Structure 1
């Protein structure tokens, strides 16, 4: 497998998160070094914060000792300097601030898969998923005030919890955009800013808890295509039955009621929705969208002897553009998001572990570093998979991570082909 040694080391961070991107983020966030001779300038602090995720069992000083030798090879560290103390690293992280690594993430992250990446595409669409996860943070007064606990009273969680909602590229498990908030902030709320990040040529899958008229409308406005499970109880009037057994429905803003709603439905059935004045508001924005409904049964998924009817809503209206079975298969690719979550929580962080940071600003910083390291790993694995013409799922994340860790400390004894 054609993977350069410098890709399989802390170089995996420098390659995917280049120094100039960090320097640009530092400048935009106004957290530049106050002293030109400081031991921990912002770019080094950024790489060390990411390095903490490569060695979650080690303290600050040990991680610094392991990482700085590799950084020296990439011109990001002067090997003549001594490794900083834990207190020095903590203070440097506070100087780096809450938003710098979020800004770095915004600048460097882009879709990883290509037409050469097996499992990344449905026809010409890049398949994405949106979903969320929670993460325990240290139980300090500041963290409790910022993030809150799950539950209350005797059922309150042991630690405060941060909530993260992210867009994921299904074929590569790479996180492409994210929002971080308090546990009490719902997934729907955190998801709303992410819809504007969608692009034409992408197909976003989502579970039924993400649907709302406002969310669907905002996502549609980007030109991306959507494939979402309809929530239970959502009225789906039949507009046209298509040749493949799927049908068109019309999704109408719930604020539109009565006779106006009926006129919109009549226009949709007459294939005249685009000419219906009632289908737009006073600003000319739509209050109704056509959607294609794909229904199918999943037999006894819960093991209770009964099947489950799944109704999918899609902006892909033409059966010739995507068959019903293709859309059903693509919807279930959203479970790849769970694989990405598992890679974060089980392999990078470690099962049952909490984050390190006792201050809310550093929790945010730590989460963005976490996502950056996972992104760098996803790039490495995807490029290796493309070189071998295999699906990235066939490359073990655990083995790739072990190799990165060994090479970072100069102890790797297996070649890049060991990724497979």
Structure 2
């Protein structure tokens, strides 16, 4: 079966699920109100000012219609918002400057707090491609976004490169956790370009769930990061960096072998003594070492062949075969697909964000993450109902359906 729209495989989404209802369903009004209250943003509409919940949905609509001016977006969606109790047709239509002022009042934190309250894994036990045995497949990775070249954005986010050869625009860095089966972002950290992905990931690793199999590329490995993730009880399958020492402790029946990741602060005699204890079957203190299973295989079609070395906390071949784990690791590319959906399809290729000041940059990025989450929640629901892999439903076609059905201007008084 080729890619289909939301109606593929006999599943037909209701119109209210596909229009702006896709945002209201995935990002309910009460969650936005809770986030605004936690962030100390006023809840009442006074003097014709847009209230926080309306501004939040308009910020998301600006991401849904990234090609259009702010005032045009408001004209497109206020009728649909009215259907969901988010807009009052008696209100005066907002201007671009009014929307900008409302966004400034909303600030950088409300949509981040909203995201934390609504984003969660969306695949069910019946969703194809979402699981390896009893583990939910998750991945962590990063991407960057170009920002308007304002002095404020440059000061907070910085440029890629150096003074001799720097990027044309300031860049924000985003590190996110994605559910592989649904492509939904469920956790994220936003920061300046000069903050490394590894550093940003550290804030996400301690909150992962013990029913996950977390996948990560070699750029995310450090002993501290692996330890933080392992101590949550989640299963891990990470690609090992080339320079990582992996002593062979025991060769297993399937050709994989057990090794130990040792705190790099332990050297010489201390390290060898610890490895000897592990060889004798002593379980190491997780603050000092972790026993892992090493899976090595070749990828023959990459520049004449590439050796991939995986380290996993799934140490028993009976729990997951080497082939299963290698296949699962390549599901990490689903994160790359999710990044592309947000950067290229939803935002548009080669585009900079709208926001010229850092507070609104943060707000806009969280709005994009929320819109992306809402659309992929709908796709996953449709695919699960049709018993097909969510990969088979086109994000672009679904986005276009949402855009076409999201418009509806409110009946403004003269």
Shift of 1:80: 2.2
The aligned length equals 399
Instruction: Report the equivalent of 2:368.
Output: 370
User: Superposition pairs for residues 111-260 of structure 1, below 5 Å?
Assistant: 111-260=121-270
Shift of 1:153: 2.7
Kindly report the root-mean-square deviation, in angstroms, between the aligned alpha carbons of the 2 structures.
1.2
Secondary structure of 2:121's aligned partner? coil
More divergent stretch after superposition (74-83 vs 5-14) = 74-83
- Alignment gaps of 5+ in structure 2: 1-10, 410-414
CA distance in 1, matches of 2:124, 2:135: 10
User: How big is each residue's C-alpha offset from its partner over 1:149-207, in whole Å with a ceiling of 9 and x where there is no partner?
Assistant: 01123411110000000001111110010001100111101110110121111001111
CA distance in 1, matches of 2:298, 2:149: 44
Match of 1:55 among 65, 69, 84: 65
> If the length of structure 2 is used for normalisation, what is the TM-score?
0.94
More divergent stretch after superposition (398-407 vs 152-161) = 152-161
More divergent stretch after superposition (3-12 vs 258-267) = 258-267
More divergent stretch after superposition (80-89 vs 185-194) = 80-89
CA distance in 2, matches of 1:86, 1:398: 27
Decide whether the 8 Å contact of 2:380 with 2:390 is kept in 1.
yes
CA distance in 1, matches of 2:386, 2:344: 26
Decide whether the 8 Å contact of 1:39 with 1:81 is kept in 2.
no
User: How big is each residue's C-alpha offset from its partner over 1:245-299, in whole Å with a ceiling of 9 and x where there is no partner?
Assistant: 1000011100112222112101111111x2xxxx44xxxx621110000011111
Shift of 1:37: 5.8
**Residues 1:301 and 2:311 aligned together:** no
CA distance in 2, matches of 1:31, 1:403: 33
Instruction: Report the equivalent of 1:417.
Output: none
Instruction: Report the equivalent of 1:319.
Output: 317
Match of 1:86 among 96, 117, 125: 96
Shift of 1:36: 4.4
**Residues 1:406 and 2:404 aligned together:** yes
Decide whether the 8 Å contact of 2:37 with 2:43 is kept in 1.
no
Instruction: Report the equivalent of 1:393.
Output: 391
Secondary structure of 1:373's aligned partner? helix
Shift of 1:20: 0.4
CA distance in 1, matches of 2:44, 2:13: 39
Match of 1:109 among 115, 119, 131: 119
Shift of 1:300: 3.5
Decide whether the 8 Å contact of 1:298 with 1:310 is kept in 2.
yes
- Alignment gaps of 5+ in structure 1: 412-420
More divergent stretch after superposition (35-44 vs 221-230) = 35-44
Shift of 1:345: 1.0
